[in-house]
Every structure is written in C-alpha cells, then in structure tokens.
C-alpha cells in the first residue's frame, strides 16, 4: 500500500498554496500540522482529486488520482462538510452510500456497522440538527468510511470537539489506521502527538518537518529553556526569542523559551515537546492560541 505525491504544486494567482511537495505514505496515521493558511486543505483536496494541481501528481499503488479506481479506495471528510439537518444519521449515511454506488440493502447494512464503529448507533434515528459537534464529526468520519477506503483523508476532524470527545476520537483514529492510510489535518498539537506515527509539519506550502514525534522534536532539542527572571530581562528576551510560555510570578516572570544558548544564569534546559516546536515555527505569524 503506497500513496505517492510527486512535486505537487498549487498556485492561485500570485499565491503558491502548495509548493512542490513530494511524499510517500504507507499504512498508518499521519498528522498534518500547520497554522491557518499553511496549505493543508489545498494539499488534501488535490490528494482527493477534487482540486486540479498546477503541476505534480498523486498516485495510489500506481493508480492516478484522476482514475475512477482511485475513487474506490478513497474516503474524505472535507473541512466544511455539509450535513443535512433534517435527515436522521441513518438516512444520511444510506443516502451517501447510494451516491457512492452501494445497493440499498448494502448501504443500510454498512451504515449500521459504521454507526456502531463511531459509537453513535444509539442515535441512528435522530435528526442531525440535534447532534453535538462531536457527534456530527463522527458521522462525517462514518460517511468517509462507507466504501471501506484504503486512504482516509480527514480535514480538521477534531474541530469543535470537547476534551472527552477528543479522547474518543483519538482511539477511533488509531483503530482505523491499523490497516489503511489515514491522513488528518489539525492545528491542535495534542490531537496528533499520541496517535500519528508520522507527523508532517506544514508551513507556507511546504512540509518543513516529517517524522515520528521523537524525530521531529530533535529539531529544537537542547534549545528549550525555563527560567524566572525580572521583568526588564523578560522584556529583552521576549524581543529576541520565540516565547513558548510566559506568566507573571509576583514581581518576576516565568518564561519558557526557545533559544540557542542559555538565556540566563539559572535557566534550565527542559525536554522539548511538539507544542514547543509548533510555537517556535508559527509564533511569529501570531496564529497560535
């Protein structure tokens, strides 16, 4: 099982949204992490054959993204997925199943099975307009799974989920990644650090880091420090270095900071996290929460 992306590029007028990305994905969960506007949706839409690239190609086991056989192995949850509020979950899935070419009895059987997998089978006869954000996202994943895809592409599937739903979601994704390629985008670090075997960090249309959590954290290993300094020094430091965390402590300031050398006498070097790396790369554009 191999999904290959070769020098994939998308240019809008004068904006290069995806810039010559080459990647090979095999079985497992991939987390596409990037700030707003990094190019995640553009990349995913080209991987789904919905958006025509300016140049480059996408192939699964040698089948081109534009070939109808590719459609059969693909499941997709768009970022702006439209639900039909007056449909029940079951009606909705059966309808989507028929669009994907399943016979009526098969669509019904498959829908019931999927509602169970995403743990909303008790809500199969409720109208979608009464669903919470998390329930809708799970329904969205279920519709993407109707054709039992080998490639599952989920664009910001955790948007709007509460912490409890996030945990359930992570478990679901891990299961789904056991025998297919799952690619999910997010700008929330904690959504992928435990489940993505490979993290793809995207910035300005390029994949700037790719690897396991440990591998990509190495980029700033030994450069994350914590210190407590007085406010004048804190101000100097924050003008020079990316700040991960800052909080007032009485008349002093606690800082977590990324810099090449020890920022102050008593600063301690701490273990880097994915969040440190993310904030390091995206803090200057002010996109982080």
Ligand X SMILES: Nc1ncnc2c1ncn2[C@@H]1O[C@H](COP(=O)(O)OP(=O)(O)OP(=O)(O)O)[C@@H](O)[C@H]1O
b (16+ CB within 10 A) / e for 27-48: ebbbbbbbbeebbbbbbbbbbb
Residue 256 interacting entry, from ligand X, Mg ion, none, C-beta within 5 to 8 Å by type: none
Question: Closest CB to ligand X among 10 and 150?
Answer: 10
Question: Which residues of the shown chain bind ligand X in the complex (CB under 6 A)?
Answer: 12, 15, 17, 34, 36-42, 79, 187
Question: Closest CB to ligand X among 17 and 195?
Answer: 17
* Residues pairing with 74 in the sheet: 151
Question: Closest CB to ligand X among 147 and 155?
Answer: 155
CA torsion 125-142-162-224 (nearest 10°) is 180
Question: Closest CB to Mg ion among 29 and 38?
Answer: 38
Residue 187 interacting entry, from ligand X, Mg ion, none, C-beta within 5 to 8 Å by type: ligand X
Q: Give the phi and the psi of residue 225 in degrees, each rounded to 5.
A: -125, 150
Question: Which residues of the shown chain bind Mg ion in the complex (CB under 5 A)?
Answer: 40-41, 79
CB atoms within 10 A of CB 251: 7
Shortest distance (Å) from residue 41 CB to Mg ion: 3
Residue 129 interacting entry, from ligand X, Mg ion, none, C-beta within 5 to 8 Å by type: none
Residue 150 interacting entry, from ligand X, Mg ion, none, C-beta within 5 to 8 Å by type: none
Residue 39 interacting entry, from ligand X, Mg ion, none, C-beta within 5 to 8 Å by type: ligand X
Shortest distance (Å) from residue 205 CB to ligand X: 7
Q: How far apart are CA 232 and CA 244, in angstroms?
A: 18
Question: Closest CB to Mg ion among 11 and 88?
Answer: 11
Cα–Cα distances (Å) from 122 to 22, 117, 142, 188, in that order, read 43, 12, 14, 29
Shortest distance (Å) from residue 68 CB to Mg ion: 26
């Amino acid at each position: 099982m191999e999904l290959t992306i070769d020098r994939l590029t998308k240019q809008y007028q004068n904006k290069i949204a995806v810039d010559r990305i080459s990647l090979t994905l095999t079985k497992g969960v991939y987390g596409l992490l990037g700030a707003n506007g990094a190019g995640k949706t553009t990349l995913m839409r080209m991987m789904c054959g919905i958006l025509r690239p300016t140049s480059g190609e996408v192939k699964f086991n040698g089948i081109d993204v534009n070939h109808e056989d590719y459609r059969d192995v693909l499941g997709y949850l768009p970022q702006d997925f439209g639900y039909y509020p007056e449909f029940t979950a079951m009606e909705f899935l059966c309808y989507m199943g028929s669009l994907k070419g399943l016979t009526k009895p098969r669509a019904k059987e498959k829908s019931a099975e999927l509602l169970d997998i995403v743990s909303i089978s008790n809500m199969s006869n409720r109208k979608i307009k009464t669903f919470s954000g998390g329930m809708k996202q799970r329904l969205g994943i279920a519709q993407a799974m109707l054709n039992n895809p080998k490639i599952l592409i989920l664009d910001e599937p955790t948007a709007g989920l509460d912490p409890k739903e996030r945990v359930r979601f992570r478990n679901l994704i891990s299961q789904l990644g056991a025998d297919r390629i799952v690619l999910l985008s997010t700008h929330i670090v904690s959504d992928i650090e435990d489940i993505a075997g490979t993290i793809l960090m995207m910035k300005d249309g390029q994949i700037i880091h790719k690897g396991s959590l440990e591998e990509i954290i190495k980029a700033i290993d030994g450069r994350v420090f914590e210190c407590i300094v007085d406010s004048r020094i804190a101000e100097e430091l924050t003008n020079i270095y990316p700040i991960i965390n800052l909080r007032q402590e009485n008349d002093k300031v606690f800082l977590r900071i990324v810099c090449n050398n020890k920022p102050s006498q008593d600063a301690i070097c701490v273990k880097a996290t994915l969040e440190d790396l993310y904030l390091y790369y995206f803090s200057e554009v002010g996109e982080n929460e």
